[in-house]
């Protein structure tokens, strides 16, 4: 038994549709297998992932269905969470049966207040350390007949 702490960070796909085989084979199954392997060695494993609830794919899906982006992310986060559980992935129970100190698995949402605070704190630390470089880029902007407008999602270009 090695009793190492292992953090497995998994991609956070957009919550704009149901998961497909590419998500499972390329994103969720390999880290699930790795987490089980590390647990079998006796390591304390924390595996984190979730639904990215921000981005143009969500806006595009919401507009195409005539609903709000929040309705889209709520719907697909629930569907995708259940799909992973139905596949037998170890996202639940969220806490290792040996106790919280042994880790667990968390399939979260970017809208979660704790997630937001964690990301903001880390971003600020990186910014304060001078690890970001500011750049300017061109982006397409749609000017509507009613005088409104928006930056176009990259899916339109």
pLDDT tens, 97-133?
777 777 888 899 999 998 899 999 999 999 999 999 9
How many C-beta neighbours within 10 Å does residue 1 have? Answer: 6
Q: Which residues of 115-129 are buried (b: 16+ CB within 10 A; e: fewer)?
A: beeeeeeeeeeeeee
Query: What are the domain boundaries of the chain?
Result: 5-151
Instruction: Please give the CATH topology (third level) of the domain spanning 5-151.
Output: Rossmann fold (3.40.50)
Pick the range with the lowest mean pLDDT from 56-60, 69-73, 93-97, 147-151: 93-97
In this predicted structure, the answer to whether residue 74 has a pLDDT above a threshold of 50 is yes
Chain centroid to CA 150: how far?
25
Task: State the average pLDDT over residues 49-76.
Answer: 93
* 143 beta partners: 149
- Say what the pLDDT of residue 33 is: 94
- Say what the pLDDT of residue 152 is: 73
Average predicted confidence (pLDDT) for the chain: 89
């Amino acid at each position: 038994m090695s009793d190492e702490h292992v953090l497995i960070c998994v991609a956070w796909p957009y919550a704009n549709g149901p998961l497909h085989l590419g998500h499972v084979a390329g994103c969720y199954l390999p880290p699930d297998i790795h987490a089980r392997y590390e647990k079998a060695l006796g390591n304390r494993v924390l595996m984190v992932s979730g639904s990215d609830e921000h981005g143009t794919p969500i806006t595009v899906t919401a507009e195409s269905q005539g609903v709000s982006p929040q309705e889209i992310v709520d719907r697909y986060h629930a569907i995708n969470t259940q799909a992973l559980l139905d596949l037998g992935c170890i996202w639940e129970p969220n806490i290792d049966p040996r106790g919280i100190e042994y880790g667990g698995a968390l399939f979260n949402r970017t809208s979660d207040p704790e997630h937001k605070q964690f990301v903001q704190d880390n971003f600020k630390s990186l910014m304060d350390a001078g690890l970001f470089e500011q750049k300017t880029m061109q982006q397409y902007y749609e000017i509507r007949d009613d005088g409104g407008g928006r930056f176009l999602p990259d899916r339109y270009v």
